[in-house]
Amino acid sequence: MKPDTIKQINFEISGKCNLRCPMCPQSTGRERDFLKQFPIDLYKKAIDDALPWGLKYVNLSGSGEPLVSKHLEEAISYASERKLITMLYTNGVLMTVDRFLSLADAGLSICKVSCMGWDRDSYKYWMSVDKFDQVRAQLADCINLPAEKINGTYLQTNHLIHDVENLEFEKTQYIKNWIDFLNVEGEIWMEHNWAGMYENTERDKLFPNRKKRSCGRPLANIVEVRAGGIGKEFGAVVPCPNVLGQDSQAVQGHLSQDSIVDIYFGEKMGRLRQAHVENNYADFDYCASCDQLLDVEEALVWTNIPDRAYGESRISGLKLV
């Protein structure tokens, strides 16, 4: 199976992050080559190259923090001027009212904020900073802005269950202290193992007998682009967002060398797709131990986002599995 369109591109606009969250491989020493800022000229070229192939969605998310990028508003504007739906995924620490208004003015469609930890102590541990009250206050100020000022941009939150034995407690607290407190749409997920980077995750323990099947990502019409690349290269195309911590092993090509079209429809990506069609992952270490190969609908613990479903892209709803 070979895709014939590029409907969505996930751009990591910054490989750097301002936090060191313990559940994220970014905190334990991400490969130095990938701690770069994505060149804005490569970003614009990738969009221009993909537009004739059906591009509709641009997700300015990856593993770094997009709000540290000096090109973020320019990147959003370039996409929105071409009638593309845009989203960014941020930890929210830098999300002031002024910045939110700036993003809205640029044409941002969706701002999704990662809020890990249901009270001050748990937030301080899981987000690595003591800013629970600050972030909630900042987000509340953004949400309460008059509709005419934010140009249709809307804000959602994202949360993780860290201990499945206390799932109901954590879920209830997230809903109380974030969703209801902010009166916002949000979603709560179980942790995952970052393409096998972490062993013995809670999901592995809960679902040891689930049959493996393709996660669907290499077969979807979605391209994943890292800010950095191997050596002096930029814009590494990788199979999925979960290869964080082992990006170099999964590089399919670099936008600083080839076009996004040539890489995505190229031979190397084709071999990975064929492996997913045949359910044969032995030659791809970053796939072989990934818990995204398990069909676990329960991983989406709770959401009040209309039509949000397990196995679909956050921004577009494109089917992955």
* 310 located within any domain: no
CATH number of the structural domain spanning residue 261: 3.20.20.70
pLDDT, averaged per 10 consecutive residues of the chain (321 residues), comes to 88 94 82 96 98 98 91 98 98 97 98 97 97 98 95 96 92 98 97 71 69 91 97 97 92 98 96 95 90 90 96 93 85
Q: Which residues of 117-145 are buried (b: 16+ CB within 10 A; e: fewer)?
A: bbeeebbeebbbbebbeebbebbeebeee
b/e burial code for range 257-266 (CB count within 10 A of at least 16 → b):
eebbeebbee
pTM of the model: 0.95
User: Which residues fall within 8 angstroms of residue 242, CB to CB, at 6 or more apart?
Assistant: 192, 194, 195, 286, 290, 292
Q: Does residue 69 belong to any structural domain of this protein?
A: yes
Taking Cα atoms as reference points, which of 55, 106, 78 lies closest to residue 316? 55
Number of domains within the chain: 1
Q: Which two tokens stand for residue 129?
A: 């900073």
Residue 37 DSSP code = B
Q: Residue 71: which domain range? A: 8-303
Assigned domain for 73 exists:
yes
> Is 280 part of any domain?
yes
The answer to whether 176 and 289 are in contact (CB under 8 A) is no
198 within some domain: yes
292: in domain: yes
Using an 8 Å Cβ cutoff, are 39 and 234 in contact? Answer: yes
Tracing tokens 């995924």 back to the chain, one arrives at 89
pLDDT at residue 11 in the model: 97
pLDDT at res. 199: 65
In a domain, 309, yes or no: no
The reply to whether 308 falls in a domain is: no
Which pLDDT score is estimated for 210?
Answer: 81
Predicted confidence at residue 165, as pLDDT, reads 87
Residue by residue, what is the 3-state secondary structure of 55-107?
Answer: CCEEEECCCCCHHHCCCHHHHHHHHHCCCCEEEEEECCCCCCHHHHHHHHHHC
